[in-house]
């Protein structure tokens, strides 16, 4: 997906590359510098006019083409207008955010820097994650503390709102089984503790750098709805974080998204009002890159329409095509939930070997095919 965005000249991926932080095989950015870079580029563009007035209703068909990219926190007025135009009640789930720790407060006599399996092309990438190990007793005590912690109560109207499985709060994961976290964000594989290299950790908490200066670290996978007092107590029980100072504690937010398989066509247009496209997270994709990719795609499709071109169908063999196909028809509208890009959305390769042995070869085949088909699609209009 990154490659396809770069090949298509995407502004967001260009700015992400310009302000990237070491994160092993992941793409992480200095969010302040990234945001400023995007804003400055838009402000300086001669063909862009920025109007910060609020939009409270969907524009009519005589007002030109529109792209609605209001994100997960669409205002009540506009959400109501979208619901009225589509005849659908917008779906929603809670997305939880993880705490951020001041680096100087982490005890490096217990923690160490290493990416799992030493992934990365540079030493900086191979040491992008900060690791805090736990033995079995510490892990069991940690699970007990999570399960007994005070959590934020939902309002009555929020109680039936589902979570996205890819971003579950740690207390929800812990409640599903005591080993769930140890086989999820706290898995101890691919790591060697230099403070005790002969003893394998029972579980490991990982933190990832959150800014270019390296002064902040995000606790990976530790989204939570625990109350603030409970968070500080529970997270300071992690070896290496006993004196942790938090720049931000975890929390939850509501995420509104469309039932896109029912409402959008293959060009991301609202079926009942095709002069309007939707883009970004509101379409039912999950993840920063996926959201940016859907914005890039919606923009290109709108420009093609304005120029009088009819682009061919987006190849399902590409990451963009697989994702947009999923949200606009590949998923079951009755059970639609937000989705990250993954190889399970791609059409199978003929003759590819199955099982774990053939996975690397199969994934390489997917990406080679996607690059060729994406380049062909971009050159077709």
Q: Model confidence over 277-318: pLDDT tens digits?
A: 999 999 999 889 999 999 999 999 999 999 999 989 999 999
Query: CB within 8 A of 322, min separation 6: which ones?
Result: 316, 341, 345, 346, 347
pLDDT, position 156: 72
Res 89: pLDDT = 67
Residue 362 has pLDDT above 80, yes or no: yes
Q: How far is CA 308 from CA 126, 272, 355, in A?
A: 48, 21, 46
pLDDT of residue 42: 97
What are the residues whose beta carbons fall under 8 Å from the beta carbon of 27, sequence distance 6 or more?
2, 16, 20, 289
Whether pLDDT at 252 is above 90: no
Using pLDDT thresholds of 50, 70 and 90, give the confidence band for residue 145: very high
User: Model confidence over 157-179: pLDDT tens digits?
Assistant: 667 777 777 778 999 999 999 99
Mean pLDDT, the chain, integer? 92
Task: Answer yes or no: is pLDDT of 371 > 70.
Answer: yes
pTM of this prediction? 0.81
Would the pLDDT of 379 be above 70?
A: yes
23: pLDDT strictly greater than 60:
yes
Phi/psi at 315 (nearest 5 deg)? -60, 125
* pLDDT for position 63: 94
When pLDDT is cut at 50, 70 and 90, the band that residue 73 belongs to is confident
**Residue whose C-alpha is closest to residue 226's, from 170, 269, 302, 270:** 170
pLDDT value for 85: 86
Percent pLDDT > 90 in the chain is 73
Q: Looking at residue 90, what is its pLDDT?
A: 61
* Residue 36: predicted pLDDT: 97
* Separation between Cα atoms, residue 234 and residue 274, nearest integer Å: 50
**Measuring CA to CA, how many Å separate 317 from each of 95, 300, 322, 367?**
29, 18, 6, 9
């Amino acid at each position: 997906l990154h490659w396809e965005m770069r090949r298509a000249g995407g502004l967001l991926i260009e700015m992400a590359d310009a302000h990237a932080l070491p994160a092993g095989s992941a793409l992480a950015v200095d969010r302040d510098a990234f945001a400023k870079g995007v804003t400055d580029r838009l402000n300086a563009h001669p063909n862009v006019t920025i109007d910060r007035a609020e939009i409270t209703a969907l524009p009519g068909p005589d007002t030109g083409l529109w792209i609605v990219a209001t994100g997960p926190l669409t205002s009540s007025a506009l959400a109501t207008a979208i619901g009225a135009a589509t005849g659908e009640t917008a779906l929603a789930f809670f997305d939880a955010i993880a705490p951020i720790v001041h680096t100087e407060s982490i005890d490096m006599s217990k923690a160490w820097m290493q990416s799992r399996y030493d992934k990365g092309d540079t030493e900086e990438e191979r040491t992008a994650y900060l690791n805090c190990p736990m033995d079995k007793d510490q892990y069991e005590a940690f699970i007990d503390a999570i399960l007994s912690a005070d959590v934020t109560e939902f309002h009555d109207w929020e109680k039936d709102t589902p979570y996205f499985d890819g971003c579950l709060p740690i207390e929800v994961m812990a409640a599903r089984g005591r080993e769930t976290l140890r086989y999820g964000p706290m898995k101890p594989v691919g790591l060697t503790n230099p403070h005790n290299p002969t003893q394998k950790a029972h579980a490991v908490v990982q933190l990832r750098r959150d800014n270019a200066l390296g002064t902040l670290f995000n606790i990976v996978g530790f989204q939570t709805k625990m109350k603030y007092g409970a968070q500080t107590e529970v997270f300071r029980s992690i070896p290496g974080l006993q004196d942790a100072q938090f720049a931000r504690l975890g929390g939850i937010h509501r995420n509104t998204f469309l039932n896109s398989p029912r409402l959008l066509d293959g060009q991301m247009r609202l079926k009942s009002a095709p002069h309007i496209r939707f883009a970004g997270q509101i379409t039912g994709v999950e993840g920063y890159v996926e959201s940016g990719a859907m914005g890039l795609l919606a923009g290109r499709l709108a420009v093609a329409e304005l120029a009088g071109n009819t682009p061919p169908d987006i190849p399902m063999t590409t990451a963009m095509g697989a994702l947009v196909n999923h949200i606009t028809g590949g998923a079951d509208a009755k059970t639609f939930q937000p989705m990250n890009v993954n190889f399970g959305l791609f059409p199978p390769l003929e003759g590819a070997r199955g099982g774990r042995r053939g996975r690397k070869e199969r994934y390489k085949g997917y990406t080679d095919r996607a690059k060729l088909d994406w380049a062909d699609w971009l050159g077709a209009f």
